[in-house]
Amino acid sequence: MGRFLKTHFSTKEIIFNLLLIITGSLLLAISLNILLIPHGLLAGGVAGLALTFFYLFKAPIYLSILLVNIPIFWWAAREINRQFLLYSLVGTLALTLLQPATYNLIEPPQVDLVLASIFGGALSGAGLGLVFRGHGSTGGTDIIAVILRKKKNMSIGEVGFYANLLVIIISLAFFPLNIGLYTIISMYIAGKMIDVMIIGLNLNKSVIIVANNSEQIGARIIDEMHRGVTYFIGRGAFTREDKTIVNCVVNRFELAKLKRIVSETDPNAFVYISDASEVLGRGFTTKKRWNT
pLDDT in tens, 121-167: 999 999 999 999 898 999 988 888 888 877 777 766 677 778 888 88
Identity of residue 220? R
pLDDT at 291 over 50: no
Domains of the chain: 11-199 (no CATH), 204-275 (3.30.70.120)
What are the start-end ranges of the E strands in 114-189? none
pLDDT score at 152 = 76
Question: How large a percentage of the chain has pLDDT more than 70?
Answer: 89
pTM of the model: 0.76
pLDDT at 47 over 60: yes
Question: How large a percentage of the chain has pLDDT more than 90?
Answer: 53
DSSP label of 252? G
